[in-house]
Structure 1
Amino acid sequence: MAPSSTQTPALSCTNPTSGFEAALSQRAVLLPQHIGQTFQLSRYPVGESLAPWAEFHWIVEWDLPEADCHLQQVLPYPNANLAFEAGQTAIHGPSHGLFTRELRGRGRVHGLRFKCGGLRPWIECPMSALRDTVVPAIHCMPHGSDIARIEAQVLNAAHHDEAIARVEAVLSERRPPFDPWVERLDTAVHTIQEDRDITTTRALLQRLNLCERAMQRVFSNYLGVTPKWLIQRARIHDALQCLAVEHETPLVQIGARLGFFDQAHFTRCFRQHTGQSPQQYREALRTESRVRSIRE
């Protein structure tokens, strides 16, 4: 699926698409201090054969003492993912809530993140049908694929590049026709994530040059989420990043900068997406930093 209390460290990434893309990956992780400490997060670009539909491979690895258990939470992006995990390989649709994973012992998960809308040409239903669901991986693999065998080959690969090559070889066997909507929507979503001034659906309508009804229909079909939710999720990701690096900035200033009407609006939206208030999350970050300082 950062030891410093004054700055957020770089991810363990190889050839990321851009520096901004690496930051995007990190700001989705709650309590990002654990990256590089409790678990390793690596990311690699996709090859040309999958580039029209997928963004990158991500690999999470951990090796914890036998008695240790770590509960990691991630606030997912609106992308669908194909995740190879021991006995649990599956497609994860866009998720409205937090993704929580318990890490024990030693393990690895190899994921392929599709572009926003990139999974739609591979499946026979609108993405709204996959919202908050996990479905069998066979839906995007060649007919008759031995999922257990492919899973073992990917997860037991000696090197990341071997695992990546195996994933891409399998999926390349049933690539769907090119769909121009994928690139158009993926570009729009990245614009929302990069531009904090986009805080309303009206601003998004102007970027896509669509009427509101058409935009709602396209989002349901290709993304599985509403435009309003997408904008809110992007701004909450911004908030997580701000809280991780701006330890003393008043919450009201952070909320105003991200386009929330007032502190109550900011708190309500933050709680809807993360299950806690901005102040509670800030306190959790401080507690984690103090614990790590004691251990070190």
Structure 2
Amino acid sequence: MPDPDVATTSEYGVLGVRTESRSGAHSFTLDRYPPAAGLAELVERYWVVSWELPPGREASITLLPHPCVNVVLDRGRLTVSGVGSDRFTYAYRGAGGVFGIKFRPGGFLPFLGGPLSDITDAVLPAEQLWGPAATVLAERMTAATGLDRRVALVEAFLRERWPEPDPQVALVQRIVAALLHDRTIARVEDVTGMFDINPRTLQRLFQRYVGVSPKWVLRRYRLHEAAAVLARERHRPWAEVAAELGYFDQSHFIRDFTAAIGMTPGAYAQACRRMEAPVSA
């Protein structure tokens, strides 16, 4: 059984300087809330993005996705979002908000009933998985007043459909937690030795339960942290950040960072210093 108190996904992922716009005004907020103890084995957290902009103004946030499935309520529609391999930008205007359920890596497979790789980079209507009950849930969540009521509706819905325990989910989450927290892991080979698992078996396990490879997860978590550090400590040398995260080949770090973020580490840090939105989809 996985330890529900151990984080299995990053706290990072919003690119650029998140807490302030160029004018110094807050354009959006991101809040996270834990699930009930009985659901924490499969659900990492709930998240709420809310915003309020002056009439006629539009803004956007760019995100580097986690290796997680999210069930999202946006504009009255409930969707299932598989792991996104690329960054994406969400534009918003006026006043509004989005509510999400972030499942732990591997935690959504018992609900889907098939390989998570089948929905990687896909967004599905929740009705495709849960039928008319998903429409009813979306309507009730949209009409609900207050976060507590929304969470209660979600948790009652999930409890009614809670799957039988799957020991492979627990194994996947232990491996993912190690990829997130253990800085001695620099390569997938380190994982196979640590967990005494065949490389091919590890790859198949991740394709089925996570939807992406263990190498992808390791790289994504390190790049989440690199982007966060460069945005927060804007005058810190990027080469120093790379070395701290286990990138001893600077050209390798530059390639990975540029492919994921859309600009070099140096250009990203400069954009953050100028308080610019550094990337767009």
Length-normalised TM-score, structure 1:
0.84
Residue-by-residue CA offset, 1:47-70 (whole Å, 9 max, x unaligned): 244223111111111111112111
Equivalent position SS for 2:10: helix
Point out where structure 1 has 5 or more consecutive residues left out of the alignment: 1-16, 291-296
Query: Taking every aligned residue pair, what percent have the same amino acid on both sides?
Result: 33
For residue 72 of structure 1, give the secondary structure of its aligned residue in structure 2: strand
Partner of 2:13: 28
Matches within 5 A, 1:11-160: 24-25=10-11, 27-34=12-19, 37-141=26-130, 143-147=131-135, 149-160=136-147
Query: What is the root-mean-square deviation in Å for CA atoms of aligned residues?
Result: 2.4
Change (3 A) 1:174 1:102: same
- Aligned to 2:41, the other structure's residue is in SS state coil
1:280 equivalent in alignment to 2:280: no
Q: Corresponding residue for 1:224?
A: 211
- 64-73 or 131-140: bigger deviation: 131-140
Distance 1:216 1:246, change over 3 A: same
Structure 2 counterpart of 1:214: 201
- Deviation of 1:273 after TM superposition, in Å, equals 1.1
Which one-letter code corresponds to 2:16 in the other structure? L
Task: Tell me the matched-pair count.
Answer: 270
Letter in 2 for 1:242: V
Structure 1 CA distance for aligned equivalents of residues 51 and 236 of structure 2: 33
Q: Which amino acid aligns with 1:62?
A: W
Q: Per chain length, whose mean CA-contact separation is higher, i.e. which structure has more relative contact order (CA < 8 Å, sep 6+)? A: 2
Alpha carbons 2:235, 2:269 under 8 Å: kept: no
Counterpart position of 1:163: 150
Q: Does the C-alpha gap of structure 1 residues 32 and 197 become closer, same or farther in structure 2, counting only changes over 3 Å?
A: farther
Q: CA deviation at 1:289?
A: 7.4
CA contact (8 A) 1:251 1:278 kept: yes
Q: State the alpha-carbon separation in 2 of the partners of residues 260 and 165 from structure 1.
A: 43
Q: Deviations over 1:174-218 (max 9, x none)?
A: 111111222221222122112233110011112332110110110
Is this contact kept in 1: 2:48–2:97, CA < 8 A? yes
Structure 1 residues 181 and 70, CA, compared in 2 at 3 Å: closer, same or farther? same
Aligned-pair CA distance for 1:81 = 0.5
- Distance, in Å, in 2 between the alignment partners of 1:135 and 1:247 is 38
Structure 1: distance between partners of 2:193 and 2:128: 34
> 2: CA distance between counterparts of 1:223 and 1:82?
15
Does the CA contact (< 8 Å) of 2:15 and 2:61 recur in 1? Answer: yes
1:256 maps onto 2:256 in alignment: no
Aligned twin of 1:177: 164
Specify the alignment match of 1:14 in structure 2: none
Please list the CA deviations of residues 93-119 of structure 1 after superposition, one character each: whole Å capped at 9, or x if unmatched.
011101210011111111101010000
CA distance in 1, matches of 2:255, 2:77: 34
Contact map agreement 2:117 2:207 (CA 8 A) in 1: yes
Alpha-carbon distance in structure 1 between the residues aligned to 2:158 and 2:259: 36
Distance 1:78 1:24 in 2: 9
Partners of 1:222 and 1:269 in 2: CA distance: 24
1:287 CA drift (Å): 1.2
Q: How does 1:233-272 map to 2 (within 5 A)?
A: 233-272=220-259
Rounded to whole Å, the distance in 2 between the matches of 1:77 and 1:33 is 17
Give 1:84 deviation, angstroms: 0.9
CA contact (8 A) 1:122 1:139 kept: no
Cα distance in 1, alignment partners of residues 48 and 58 from structure 2: 19
Deviations 1:231-289 (A, max 9, x none): 11111012112212332222222222222242221110001111111112111111117
